Structure 1
Amino acid sequence: MPLPTDEKLLALSQDLLKQFDAIFGLNPGFRPAHAKGKLLTGTFRPSGEARSLTSAPHVVRESTPVTVRFSDSTGIPLISDNDPNANPRGCAIRFHLAKHVHTDIVSQSMDGFPTNTGQEFLELLKALATSDPANLKGSPLEAFLGTHPKALAYVQAPKPAPSSFARESYFGVTAMKFTNKDGVSRFGRYRIVPEAGNEHLDDAAVAAKGANYLFEEIVERVAKGPVRFKLMVQVAEEGDVVDDATIHWPEERRVQELGVLELTKAVMDDAAEQRQIIFDPIPRVEGIEPSDDPLLEVRAAVYLLSGRRRRAAPVA
């Protein structure tokens, strides 16, 4: 995946990376956001109805190997799993289509995003970097949130901690364009729904947990048996906004199943694999295209820039 040739987009992506560093510190070999993570492997098997939505290769095959990364929020590699700032959690999925050929899904446990452009997100990060969250009055962050109601709603939304990465739902931030073999296209957003159901903890239960409770639990869980998720797509209807990650579609919109993710083991050489894998928010595969959401190109560039930096960092 090449870096963008658009100089403004590249400069914005580099500025975003610098702001993450300013907030969380420079941690060589780790991601600037969602630094603490764990890789698992398994298989994706498509549903019978998946082909009606897309002709993507992992939907028309019987099965496809996958690598999934669960993560805590922030760029702090040693953040405690019971720290409120560790929410929202992340789930990134790689479908291995052939040697050096893949498509990815990047999702999080919050449905939506605080801003609808990369420039607005940079302004939010700058406000965060120069504000004390415990004393917002008169701060740059208070000023930003006061003029960006969608960002304020995102910040104020409940973000409960799950009992397990396997008991949390995850949402694609941006819409994608799905096209089937007949050329019929629909826009949709991913949802990754746990077979075991959602389970969240209250504050007291979270406080009683250990610093690595989620990462320890998922390894123990997958060692006992497969962890399964349904890969779903919430399908937009005519008139729905498909290029703005801050806008939610009505809950009554149809949700279609693409298939089942079955995770069967933790990656052994986890640290080395995490340094190498660079997830891509843009699908780059037949049958699934990016929407015109302006976040997609800048997110892809930030992921690539940070991934190259991570790979080049000295191994401790």
Structure 2
Amino acid sequence: MPLPNDEKLIALSEEILKEFEKVFGPHPGFRPAHAKGTMLTGRFTPSNEATSLTRAQHATQASTPVTVRFSNSTGIPLLPDNDANADPRGIAIRFNLAEHVHTDIVAHSANGFPATDGAGFLEFLRAVTQEDKAKVQEFVGSHPKALAFVQSITPMPVSFAQERYFGLTAMKFTNKDGVTRFGRYTIVPEAGEEHLSADAAAGKDANYLFDEFTERIGKGPVKFKITVQVAEDGDVINDATVHWPADRKVVELGTIELTQPVAADAREQKQIIFDPIPRLDGIEPSEDPLLELRAAVYLISGRKRRSAPEPTE
């Protein structure tokens, strides 16, 4: 994954990373956001519908091994799972297509994003880091996209396995006949969604999600459906803050079945750098400006993370 040849984009990415560090502090070896996480392995099996949408390798072969990371929000590695700042939760899915060949999906549990582009996101970060809560509320109240994002954050989940995740940026899908459509991912839990009341969440311990997931995966596979909501002509495809009508067609891409934790989890989390840009035949990025920005932020921060001292298990 190369850095883009765009000095302004790289400078903006560095500014965003500096702002994350101001908020959460320096934590070498960890992500600047979604620092606390866990990884599992399993397989993806495409649905019968998948090839109608895309000719991508993992949609056309019988199955593909996957590596999946679940995470809390913020850049604080020891943030309690029941801290209000731990939402939205994150999921990142890597389809391992061959040795050193992969494609990823990155999503989170809020069906929204606070800004259309990188400059707007940096403005949001600077606003919410203020110690004056009244000024934070004033900013959110006067910026409709930021307000919509805050309102889209769901209550704390019972389990990572009972949360829905949204890939906010549109992708361009092309099938074997050359038919192209734009779509957005949603990752749907087979076990159904379930969230906690504020009182129930307050009674949970600091690692309740990670402990619950360890127990759950020990009893059997955890499954998610990957679906794609397909845009129609005239739908906005380059702005993650704009929702498409609920009546748009949804195609089931396939099922992820997770079976076991990743060995040497802390070390592997440090090394892996997920890429929000698909970079394979059959699925391409849209012109959403957040994609190149996120890819640059992930790569720059990932290289710094890899150069930090090894974490202890």
The TM-score, its normalising length taken from structure 1, stands at 0.96
Which of 195, 213, 224 is residue 229 of structure 1 equivalent to?
Answer: 224
Q: Which residue of structure 1 lines up, in the alignment, with residue 62 of structure 2?
A: 62
Which of 165, 168, 177 is residue 170 of structure 1 equivalent to?
Answer: 165
Q: Which residue of structure 1 lines up, in the alignment, with residue 279 of structure 2?
A: 284
Give the match's secondary structure for 1:94. Answer: strand
Cα distance in 1 for residues equivalent to 2:192 and 2:5: 43
User: Residue 264 of structure 1 aligns to which amino acid in structure 2?
Assistant: T
Cα distance in 2 for residues equivalent to 1:287 and 1:110: 27
The answer to whether the aligner puts 1:8 opposite 2:3 as a matched pair is no
Cα distance in 1 for residues equivalent to 2:158 and 2:245: 27
Q: Which residue of structure 2 lines up, in the alignment, with residue 200 of structure 1?
A: 195
Deviation string 1:196-253 (CA, Å, 9 cap, x unpaired) is 1001111111111111000011111111100000010011111110100111111111
Q: Which residue of structure 2 lines up, in the alignment, with residue 80 of structure 1?
A: 80
The TM-score, its normalising length taken from structure 2, stands at 0.97
1:32-71 to 2 correspondences below 5 Å:
32-71=32-71
How far apart are residue 159 of structure 1 and its match? Answer: 2.1
Aligned positions, number? 311
Task: Give me the CA root mean square deviation.
Answer: 1.0
Give the match's secondary structure for 1:191. Answer: strand
Give the match's secondary structure for 1:15. Answer: helix
Give the match's secondary structure for 1:16. Answer: helix
User: Residue 104 of structure 2 aligns to which amino acid in structure 1?
Assistant: D
Give the match's secondary structure for 2:68. Answer: strand
Q: Which residue of structure 1 lines up, in the alignment, with residue 210 of structure 2?
A: 215
User: Residue 84 of structure 2 aligns to which amino acid in structure 1?
Assistant: P
Q: Does the Cα contact within 8 Å between 2:111 and 2:152 map onto a contact in 1?
A: no
Deviation string 1:115-152 (CA, Å, 9 cap, x unpaired) is 000010001111122333xx31xx2x345324421111
Gaps of 5+ in 2: none
Q: Which residue of structure 1 lines up, in the alignment, with residue 22 of structure 2?
A: 22
Cα distance in 2 for residues equivalent to 1:163 and 1:146: 30
The answer to whether the aligner puts 1:263 opposite 2:258 as a matched pair is yes
Cα distance in 2 for residues equivalent to 1:48 and 1:157: 32
Deviation string 1:144-196 (CA, Å, 9 cap, x unpaired) is 32442111121234521110000011000100000001110111000100111
Give the match's secondary structure for 2:309. Answer: coil
Q: Identity of counterpart residues, as a percentage? A: 66
